[in-house]
Structure 1
Amino acid sequence: MDAWRWGVWVLVAMLALFLWNVVWVAAVRRWYRPRTTLPQTLRARCADGWELTVHARRATVRRFEEPVLLCHGLAANRFTFDFEPPYSVAHYLAEAGFDCFSVEWRGTGHSRSPPPGRRYTDFTIDDHILQDGPALLELALKETGAKRAFWLGHSLGGLVGYGVAQGPQGEKLAGLLTLGAPVHFKSGPLMRALISMGVRAAWPARFRQEWMSASLAPFLGYVTLPLSDLLVNPEHIPPRIQRQVYANMMSSMSRKVLLQFQDWIEHDAFRSFDRATDWREGITRLRLPLLVMGGSSDRLATAENVQSQFALASAPDRTLHVFGRDHGDKMDYGHGDLIFGTGAPSEVYPVIREWLEQHATRLSSPAEPSEPSISLQRQA
């Protein structure tokens, strides 16, 4: 009888702890939500029936024909690029005259509407390249009436861009900009151990690290999490921004995606899930304009990695830019610092804008923002 009562009390305590954590996470996300106007919310349906959510930030005064597709990386969401100014690429480029479309890849954020018969964790990076990317591109072109678009991807978002550029939709890209995207995966024991742990933690479907990130977010700036410098350098990001990023930007990871990354890391490959398509080799055949960017202290996409990635390209119009003190910048940029570092709005964002302006089609008469055709406004 005592054992039964003990078991009941343990069960009640676990339930109470779970409920307390639910309330805690909800309160943290509410308190640290970005204070900015909400973007327009659109829907993009992929060829396989999966529905994506795309967040459109329209230009204050549209000066350029081509829209900019903003594509986040692994374990992130649309807040990577559409955040609270001044740490918001979407706001920055919209002010410069570009319509911006921030995607949330399938299984991420609001893009959790799979077709019948599939779970929202049932996908690989192949699906991002073959399904999500083309759907995002078609939606942006339809919304703006443009013939081509620019692709700006951070980390995995840049890798997806390389894959899309090699497919049948590649001709609709006016240029590809990658930011901290590691095409080479020569990694040491630490990275192999971490990806192996991630695959195990994701069994049977996904790794929900965003719950832990939001739970710990209020303490950042006072304490430093182990291995946090793999993602961002805490010394380069204001404490409140750290708390906002960890509370809002982290997303769960599909086990299949982690298994694909495990293959890449163990075999130094950038290829499809079935290993039949070599996207890294395909970079050598790309002809569209390229801007390859990285950080001098990025531990995931190292400066050497970015430079060797650039060396693969044979496009006649290609540019390499590594941000760091050796190049006259105020800091040595890490992976997330390229977007959220204190120097990013004044050093990284202008390089992106200037490159886009040089390659975009300027409208003869600037256009006012268009009326939303499909708008589903939501609180973040």
Structure 2
Amino acid sequence: MVLSSHGNACVIRQSYFSNVQEEVFLLNIDCPDPSVQLAITRLATKSPETTQLGPPVVLLHGSFCNRSFWLSKNGHGLAMFLAQQGYEVWLPEMRGHGFSPKNQTYEQNTMSAYVRFDLPQIAHFIYQQNPQSAHWLGHSLGGISLSALLAEQRVPAHYFLTLTLLGTQVSYFNPCLRIPFMWRILKKYYLSRWLHNAENKEHEPKALLIEFLRWFSIAGGFKTKDLHWWKALKTVTIPLLSIAAAQDQGDPPHACFKLFKQFSSTKKIFITLGKEQGYLIDYNHTDMLIGRSAKKEVWPLLALWMAENETKSA
């Protein structure tokens, strides 16, 4: 049901969590597949004490996830925490995830399409609704997508106030993928494992997974036919915070740090979440954001990072 229209988007859901209003927009994407529509949730406080919202904060989920990674059905999570801090929080959901319907050519979806069509139009829509530079945070594949977006320079620089990468890397995977005959065998193995894993909350398109695996093959690299994303990251200069988890087996700290070093950001901070670094636990890939300790240690850390950069940019 359409509740209201906003140009090429419409509101399909409205609700309240205490003093925070939730609106879900369905955005029509201009791309070769006219059936592509993306859901974008907006959270903002509605109280007499809130006279002006802070800069927008955009949280982009990783693979096999949707907005529930940031916001539970009961209204808990990092998204709600940041909304309560006075930020306007935006939660895009990629094609076929969460409230975003599957497009007609879903299995052919790739990150290249996300970077070329979806993310620029998401960024433009958010800026239309709130014309302030935004904090962008991406977890895992969400962080990879944002890195590629910045490498492509497909959005105006003032759309980004800061970038935060969480458990994000593009260089570490099974080394056997670099052996030509093993590439064919392992590609089938990983595709079968990922596409049919009942534990995954969301299904990922086959073309996206093949594209991901190709980055780690002998002829791979973080790139497309048109642009070498890895090399282009040297042109990115916005403030960058990269956070890795000490017990992350899939995206280990050393690989996250390698991606972190590739940026030429004017301000760069790298953090590993582990006991050795003074944190309560050795975090893993997901509990770095949704675990009990994350609420005490990681969420305030993110809020502090954003607040410090707002002060310096004002």
User: TM class, shorter-chain normalised?
Assistant: 0.7 to 0.9
SS at match of 1:138: helix
Give yes or no for the alignment of 1:254 onto 2:205. yes
- Contact 1:65/1:360, CA 8 A, preserved across alignment: no
SS at match of 1:109: coil
1:317 is aligned, of 267, 271, 274, to 267
Match of 2:293 in 1: 343
In structure 2, what residue type is equivalent to 1:196? K
- Contact 1:62/1:98, CA 8 A, preserved across alignment: no
Give yes or no for the alignment of 1:179 onto 2:179. no
Matches within 5 A, 1:83-94: 83=72, 88-94=77-83
1:319–1:197 CA distance, 2 compared to 1 (3 A) = same
Matches within 5 A, 1:278-297: 278-297=228-247
In structure 1, what residue type is equivalent to 2:107? T
Match of 1:120 in 2: 106
- Contact 1:56/1:100, CA 8 A, preserved across alignment: yes
1:124–1:105 CA distance, 2 compared to 1 (3 A) = same
- Contact 1:70/1:103, CA 8 A, preserved across alignment: yes
Match of 2:14 in 1: none
Match of 1:197 in 2: 189
Paired residues in the alignment total: 282
Structure 1 residue 84: deviation in Å? 5.5
Structure 1 residue 286: deviation in Å? 0.3
Structure 1 residue 323: deviation in Å? 0.8
Matches within 5 A, 1:12-31: none
1:159 is aligned, of 144, 159, 169, to 144
Structure 1 residue 107: deviation in Å? 2.3
Matches within 5 A, 1:138-157: 138-144=124-130, 146-157=131-142
Structure whose alpha-carbon radius of gyration is higher: 1
Match of 2:8 in 1: none
Residue-by-residue CA offset, 1:174-228 (whole Å, 9 max, x unaligned):
11111001122343459977753242467xxxx254xx22xxxxxxxxxxxxxxx
1:40 is aligned, of 20, 23, 31, to 23
Partners of 2:140 and 2:226 in 1: how far apart? 22
1:180–1:86 CA distance, 2 compared to 1 (3 A) = farther
Structure 1 runs of 4+ with >6 Å offset: 190-194
SS at match of 1:270: coil
In structure 1, what residue type is equivalent to 2:248? D
In structure 1, what residue type is equivalent to 2:81? Y
In structure 1, what residue type is equivalent to 2:23? Q
1:185–1:356 CA distance, 2 compared to 1 (3 A) = same
Give yes or no for the alignment of 1:110 onto 2:96. no
Residue-by-residue CA offset, 1:103-140 (whole Å, 9 max, x unaligned):
110122222253xxx42333101111111111211221
1:173–1:331 CA distance, 2 compared to 1 (3 A) = same
Match of 1:270 in 2: 222
Structure 1 residue 65: deviation in Å? 4.0
Partners of 1:86 and 1:112 in 2: how far apart? 22
Q: Percent same amino acid among aligned pairs?
A: 22
SS at match of 1:335: coil
SS at match of 1:360: helix
- Contact 1:64/1:98, CA 8 A, preserved across alignment: yes
CA RMSD of superposed structures (Å): 2.8
Structure 1 residue 271: deviation in Å? 1.8
Structure number having the greater helix percentage: 1
TM-score, length of structure 1 as denominator length: 0.68
Match of 1:218 in 2: none
Matches within 5 A, 1:53-92: 53-60=39-46, 61=50, 63-83=52-72, 88-92=77-81
In structure 2, what residue type is equivalent to 1:185? Y
Unaligned ranges ≥5, structure 1: 1-35, 214-245, 365-380
- Contact 2:274/2:281, CA 8 A, preserved across alignment: yes
Residue-by-residue CA offset, 1:127-165 (whole Å, 9 max, x unaligned):
111111112112211222x23212110001101111222
- Contact 1:286/1:314, CA 8 A, preserved across alignment: yes
SS at match of 2:79: helix
Match of 1:330 in 2: 280
Match of 1:101 in 2: 90
Structure number having the greater strand percentage: 2
- Contact 1:86/1:345, CA 8 A, preserved across alignment: no
Match of 2:5 in 1: none
Structure 1 residue 62: deviation in Å? 6.4
SS at match of 1:297: coil
Match of 2:9 in 1: none
In structure 2, what residue type is equivalent to 1:39? E
Whose RCO is larger (CA < 8 A, sep 6+)? 1
- Contact 2:169/2:258, CA 8 A, preserved across alignment: no
